[in-house]
Structure 1
């Protein structure tokens, strides 16, 4: 028995050492591998330029293509540029840890720099110019305006009303006629279609980015846990029966389950629904159940420890997505502002009361308690009741104070009617 255990331990040690060596080789090859993938992406962009854009930049100004064709090439371009950015960041990070010197790498870096410099300023999609112009803030320097116009005080400018003539027709009718004329102007339809395309493209980008923000962390957490963290943890811990439970709550739960099993055996015996069994057979059943419970809680402990590392990896991937998506963040913020501003005052007041009652309302302590207990179980931490109650007694109060200050400071200026509706609904 001891020889078999020693052979098994030796085999596990050899497999773990082999895995560490392969992992070390993979880590040492990271700079060259990352640079190779970035170089291949740059070569794909250069091939497209040569074959379809007369060796010019991939743009609607280089070659006249239809909108659908340009949209296809733009998606292909953005995909390869994203690969270049990610792999270059990986190359720089790994190169700071691993010292390498290879003249071939310099040639690849030159090719990559040519592509990056060409597309570093901005990407020209079909409606990119009009789309990006929507989000560029207009900086007005009042002193420069005064200097150029040679006016001592800009407040002294008297703007004449648009309609100075008085006649039989009121000014409102004139404005209505001008609006009708503008609606029938030849360029009105083109302007409407252009604005519609800009709004459609902005909505698609915002929704796609919102989906990415949700899917990428969840998928990263699941894949890293199942493929990386859990296998390494199982090899490190092995079949160590002395470290089944990682906190006292798990141990109490396992003992409670075993105690319930013993009581069930006694109950079956006393009500004569089961034949009398010997004490040896009873002990064998209890031992088998204890082994089953230990295996179950050993897997649960491994899963809790794996969740900690997988969550950190998921948080890191979320930070990378945020850091590389500044343009998408601006578009998403504008999209959310449009949705919020489109709500009626009653709808705004309804959602404000709904969220405040959920997080800082009368029934919110029960929700916070369930949420914190589930989070502690997810990370394998003991659910300390005193700590949970202390959090519930402080954090919702702070959150409520911040929210009331926001209502007093900003909502009264952004939407006074929504504030009045909110006060009436609260009363």
Structure 2
């Protein structure tokens, strides 16, 4: 009995062992296909390098990371394929045939190996290292881009021959830095290839701007379209089907009911007031009751529609958030381009502009008048989802969240902005005083 139970597991393990060459070859082939897909989609069917397409340094870093990962997987699977094929012989192939395993024909194996060789032979470790260094901007790029690149560049480990402390004569040059900078700028202007570098840099910046603006528009338009389409096509009919006017209460919460009562009371007072100022005959109780009943039915239909709309908004917002997350998940390269674009805009502002934006942001969200704005936002969200506006929760949120946000913002100014742009921090303090 024990042998009968163990036999299927041993047979499955043996089949897995016999299929190792084909499995390794297929995985290597799939990795090569992914590399080919990157080349066809982003680099005009050419080798993955900055010369094949105009991308920023952040995007090229992303592509090189994916390329190294795929090349490493391809090489490992090819090594596994060769080793498993070396241990394979005719007797094992006959045993595989008895277990129902059919190997890929030699022609297909040769075709896959030839395709893998065509893809991976274009890349070597030296090529990847050389292409990675090409991502650093040339001396002809504007000084602002040079500063941003230096700030984003990772700190390299110190070499053994550089661990000796530098003397002051080493750190301080013989000539002032401004003179050396001027000489470097003149050399770049006299360089015959400087015009080509400027054009190439402009094209990269233009493509980065187009990609960033398009991605920002997609982040706004796709969730809104998803909300409207889901609300009109899926959520709306389902809510109206399961929520009939006869079987469900009109009001979702007590605030809606109180609002309806106030509106009905104002309607009754307005009828009586109009009757008094126009010297019309006194309304009979029957006529007044009939008008009140018609108005009450109209108010009930209106609030029933508002309640149904609030329920639809809850489920439609879930679809919108899912679409937004899905868009972020599939747009990793666009996110890198957008980050580079925003860094270029933010660090390109003058010190006074940076200080102005900081003061405007802090005054709106954490300033003296910000509690009124947060109260309006929270009440609007409550009405949007059909929830009662809990005053205790609103006051607690206003008392804690802006304070936390202000603390985080001050820490960001102290920790990062003070290191990146100390002059902007000084301007901010002067303007804030």
1:211 pairs with one of 209, 213, 217:
217
Counterpart of 2:156 (choices 140, 143, 155) is 140
Task: Report the alpha carbon displacement of residue 222 of structure 1 after superposing the two structures with TM.
Answer: 1.4
> What secondary structure, in the 3-state scheme, does the structure 1 residue paired with 2:251 have?
coil
Aligned equivalents of 1:198 and 1:159: distance in 2?
Answer: 40
Shift of 1:182: 3.1
Which residue of 2 is the match for residue 249 of structure 1?
A: 255
Structure 2 match to 1:349: 355
How far has the Cα of 1:407 moved from its partner? 2.0
Structure of greater relative contact order (alpha carbons < 8 Å, 6+ residues apart) = 2
Number of aligned residue pairs: give it: 311
Superposition RMSD on alpha carbons, in Å? 4.0
Choose which of 371, 381, 386 in structure 2 pairs with 1:375: 381
Secondary structure at the counterpart of residue 240 of structure 1: coil
Q: Residue 267 of structure 2 corresponds to which residue in structure 1?
A: 261
Distance, in Å, in 1 between the alignment partners of 2:405 and 2:253 is: 31
User: CA 1:209/1:292 → structure 2, altered by over 3 Å: closer, same or farther?
Assistant: same
Q: 1:324 is matched with which residue?
A: 330
For structure 1, the residue ranges without an aligned partner over 5 or more in a row are 1-45, 50-55, 71-113, 119-127
1:304 equivalent in structure 2: 310
Q: Following TM superposition, by how much is the alpha carbon of 1:399 offset from its aligned partner in structure 2, in angstroms? A: 1.4
CA distance in 2, matches of 1:234, 1:346: 55
What TM-score does the superposition give when structure 1 sets the normalisation length? Answer: 0.63
Partner of 2:418: 412
262-271 or 305-314, larger mean C-alpha shift:
262-271
Say whether the 8 Å CA contact 1:131–1:202 is kept in structure 2.
no
Matched, 1:239 2:245: yes
What is the Cα deviation at residue 331 of structure 1? 1.1
The answer to whether the aligner puts 1:336 opposite 2:334 as a matched pair is no
TM norm structure 2:
0.62
Q: Deviations over 1:378-413 (max 9, x none)?
A: 110111222211211111112112222222222221
Q: Aligned pair in 2 of structure 1 residues 360, 174: CA closer, same or farther (>3 Å)?
A: closer
Residue aligning to 2:22: none
Determine whether 1:425 maps to 2:431. yes
Distance across 1 between alignment mates of 2:180 and 2:408: 49
Aligned to 1:24: none
Deviation at 1:267, TM superposition (A): 1.3
User: Residue by residue, what CA displacement relative to the aligned partner does 1:303-332 show, whole Å, maximum 9, x if unpaired?
Assistant: 011111111111111111111111111111
Is structure 2 residue 196 aligned with structure 1 residue 190? yes
Pairs within 5 Å for 1:91-240:
140-142=156-158, 145-146=159-160, 151=161, 153=163, 176=182, 179-240=185-246
Task: Find the structure with the greater CA-based Rg.
Answer: 2
Corresponding residue number in structure 1 for 2:390: 384
Contact 1:249 / 1:382 at 8 angstroms: preserved in 2?
Answer: yes
